[in-house]
Structure 1
Amino acid sequence: MSEEDTALKAIEQVVAAVQRTQREKDAEGFLALFHPDALWTTAHGKVLIGFDAIADFTRSVLPGASWDGEVTYDVVHTQFLRPDVAAVKVRQLYTDAEGRPESEGAPLYVMTRGGDGRWLLTACQNTQVRAA
């Protein structure tokens, strides 16, 4: 397996962990995916700079989040900006209890690979997709 293929697989595992922690409403598991100097913009435009701001927000909203069905996160494109930096476009889909689409997001995750080889969420923008 090439180095790029290995990186792609690791990035997909991070996105799968985002999905799992969101479904389980696991704030601490979600926060473990972030770089200490990360920044995050929510789907509604709230800007969170630094891990502490992201943690405060996540701990206040994720445990009480509610939806009737499932949420899925799928990597739709990865662009390596450098070997240790990737821009990752994700499709986020919320479905109702019967599996019908309810809402969609189009997050962009800029991820960085640390010295330990681990990929982390570093600069992220979650964008709500509006129906045309």
Structure 2
Amino acid sequence: MDTDTLDLEAIAQVVATVERTQRAKDAEGFLALFHPDALWTTAHGKVLVGLDAIAEFTRAVLPGAVWSGDVTYEPVHIRFLRPDVAAVKVRQVYHAPTGDTEGSPLYVMTKTPDDRWLLHVGQNTEVRVD
């Protein structure tokens, strides 16, 4: 298997882990996916700079989230900006009895020297249907 294929699979696995940890409302599992210098912007525009700020927010919000936990994440576009940097467009859907809502995250992921892909920058955007 070539390096690009291995990297694509590793990136898809990170997105799958985001899905799994969000469904389980597992703050620590989710936080393990981040680069220490990460920059994160929530779907509602809250800017979180650094892993400490992301952790404080996540630990306060995720475990008590009131949504059903039925959410899916699908990487729909992956573009390598460099061999160790990838832009990843994700389709995020929260499924609820009252109807689905959708988010459109963009992750910039970086590859560590030990070949792990981490979330380095994230911008989520709520998709509004009018």
TM-score normalized with structure 2 length? 0.96
1:67 is displaced (CA, Å) by 1.6
Helix, strand or coil for the counterpart of 1:11? Answer: helix
1:96 matches 2:119: no
- C-alpha RMSD of the superposition: 1.1
Helix, strand or coil for the counterpart of 2:100? Answer: strand
Q: What's 1:111 paired with?
A: 109
1:101 is displaced (CA, Å) by 4.2
Q: What's 1:127 paired with?
A: 125
Helix, strand or coil for the counterpart of 1:81? Answer: strand
Between the two proteins, what is the percent identity of the paired residues? Answer: 68
1:102 is displaced (CA, Å) by 1.8
Aligned partner of 1:58: which letter? T
Alpha-carbon distance in structure 2 between the residues aligned to 1:2 and 1:18: 25
Runs (4 or more) in structure 1 with deviation over 3 Å come to none
- 1:52-91 alignment runs, 5 A limit: 52-68=52-68, 70-91=70-91
- 1:13-28 alignment runs, 5 A limit: 13-28=13-28
1:96 is displaced (CA, Å) by 1.6
Helix, strand or coil for the counterpart of 2:19? Answer: helix
* Number of matched pairs: 130
